Amino acid sequence: MPQLGLGDYKADNGKEAIDAIHWAVEAGYRHVDTAGIYNNEEAVGKALQTASVPRGDVWLTTKIWNDDVRAGRTTAALDEALARLKTDYVDLLLIHWPADGYLAAWKAFEQALSAGKVRAIGVSNFMEEHLADIVDNGEILPAVNQIEYHPYLVQAEAISFSDMHDIAITAWSPLMQGKFLQEPLFAKIGKAYGKSAAQVVLRWCLQNDIIVIPKSTNQGRIRENGELFDFELSEDHMIAIDELERGERLGPDPRDFDF
Binding site for ligand NAD (CB under 6 A): 7-9, 33, 96, 124-125, 146, 172-178, 181, 196, 198, 213-216, 221, 224-225, 251
16 or 80: CB nearest ligand NAD: 16
Q: Alpha-carbon dihedral of residues 203, 204, 209, 214, nearest 10 degrees?
A: -60
Catalytic residue among 9, 29, 38, 193: 38
Say if CB 46 and CB 86 are below 8 A apart. Answer: yes
| Shortest distance (Å) from residue 131 CB to ligand NAD | 15
3 or 173: CB nearest ligand NAD: 173
Burial of 248 (0-12, 13-18, 19+ CB in 10 A): middle
Q: What's the DSSP call for residue 169?
A: E
Nearest CA to 97 out of 58, 122, 66 is that of 66
| Shortest distance (Å) from residue 80 CB to ligand NAD | 19
115 or 179: CB nearest ligand NAD: 179
Position with the least CB separation from ligand NAD: 7
Query: Catalytic: 102?
Result: no
Say if CB 92 and CB 64 are below 8 A apart. Answer: no
| Shortest distance (Å) from residue 85 CB to ligand NAD | 14
7 or 101: CB nearest ligand NAD: 7
Q: Give the DSSP letter string of 3-70.
A: SB-EE-TT--TTHHHHHHHHHHHHTT--EEE--GGGT-HHHHHHHHHTSSS-GGGSEEEEEE-HHHHH
| Shortest distance (Å) from residue 182 CB to ligand NAD | 10
Residues marked active site are found at: 38
